[in-house]
Structure 1
């Protein structure tokens, strides 16, 4: 299926690994020129080398901290300078620390809010005039299924990520019709973090192999496995495309059916 994105430009944050990297890869496959971002420059350059083999889109690596206002301004400016505009913004960020409520202090709350919510606020503000100039700008926010159902020991993610969904829904009307805004809510996916946790379990003797550990992690998922990050990346590319042109203001769970929420 041709998503009609060839020649477009996208900025994908926190894309040196995981779901952000998969989203950037999916866009490059569609011929989109992409600026990727991360804090670790060597890791970012390695991701660039891998992503640019996926398709015809060009890839530019721009390091930056999503909690730094100046870095966010530079991310958007680099995208516009390199490719002459900005058509699609995909926001991703690392998860906040886990832990129960009574072990979470004020600094933890402020840092999580700055990383998860204010990064999207600042990115949307900087990107808006450029997204509006194109033929159909889009914003896709990658959050978590925790906005649908609270997950044990993830009080920060459960609470703070809700603000991103409220923002996304608001932008879907305030920025319309020139810009559409949607969100994806990932469940368990085989990211670097999951791979590390499974490998640690194997080292502790809990599983005989990585494959056995991974299968155990997907045992409660109705489709019988945890997700492939590229599956989520393909959904992000679709939501960025004209093929999804009547989808606006939605939050799409991508969790293999593991969630039990009706809505």
Structure 2
């Protein structure tokens, strides 16, 4: 399917690894010019080179370091695609997860920091990007959150609670910015990201798994499709939601979890 977004420009936050990286890669494969983001300059430079090597011939991929809890860094992030490509058509927001732990072990600072990282980073990004997104022909916002907004996950009280704010914001934006801009969210379940790889390798070292493949199989137990996701499964969905092929999809939160969720909605 031709997604008809070649030549567009996108900003993907927190994209030096994981699901943000897969989203940047999927967009670049469709010919979109992409600004990738991360805090570690060396790690980001390596990620940009890998995504560029896998991109369509006419796509350009560049990196912009920045801390998503710093308002000035976010302003610079949003301006980079405009300066580099003369436009910004697609905003994809991603951020690392807050610390795990039970409710009674969280502090006020933990809550404020999680809110700043997960919600205010999106608020500030959209605020800075809105006029640029409206100026094009079919601007889009895709927020990468978590399936925890539908089903609370044990030990992840900060993610369970705070990420709900992104969904409320996304739904509101889908109305306030329409029809020039569509806003949607994706809710990932387990995917074979560097974090999952690290957890499996630690399990192998502890003797819980015979080898990496055994650990991967274990993580896939209980998922109806029989395995955890490839990050590109989510990345390609993000690219689709950023394209005119999905022009009637607006204000939704799409689980990308292989059917593992138990929620009816």
| SS of aligned partner of 2:74 | helix
TM-score, with normalisation over the residues of structure 2?
A: 0.99
Instruction: Tell me how many residue pairs correspond in the alignment.
Output: 263
Residues 1:32 and 2:68 are matched in the alignment = no
TM-score w.r.t. the length of structure 1 is 1.00
Map of 1:142 onto structure 2: 144
Name the structure 1 match of 2:68: 66
State the partner residue of 1:230.
232
| Per-residue Cα deviation, 1:17-67 (whole angstroms, up to 9, x for no partner) | 000000000000000000000001100000001000112210010000000
Q: Distance in 2 between matches of 1:113 and 1:61?
A: 25
Aligned counterparts of 2:181 and 2:173: Cα–Cα separation in 1: 8
Query: How far 1:188 sits from its partner (Å)?
Result: 0.3
Gaps of 5+ in 1: none
Structure 1, residues 224-262: CA drift from partner, whole Å, max 9, x if none?
100000000000000000000000000000000111000
What is residue 198 of structure 2 aligned with on the other side?
196
Q: CA deviation at 1:9?
A: 0.2
The aligned residue for residue 11 of structure 1 is 11
1:260 to 234, 241, 262: 262
Map 1:65-84 onto structure 2 (within 5 A).
65-84=67-86
Q: Does 1:51 align with 2:57?
A: no
2:132 counterpart of 1:130? yes
Indicate which of 96, 99, 110 corresponds to 2:98.
Answer: 96
Moved beyond 2 Å, runs of 4+: none
User: What is the rounded CA distance, in whole Å, between the counterparts of 1:150 and 1:226 in structure 2?
Assistant: 19
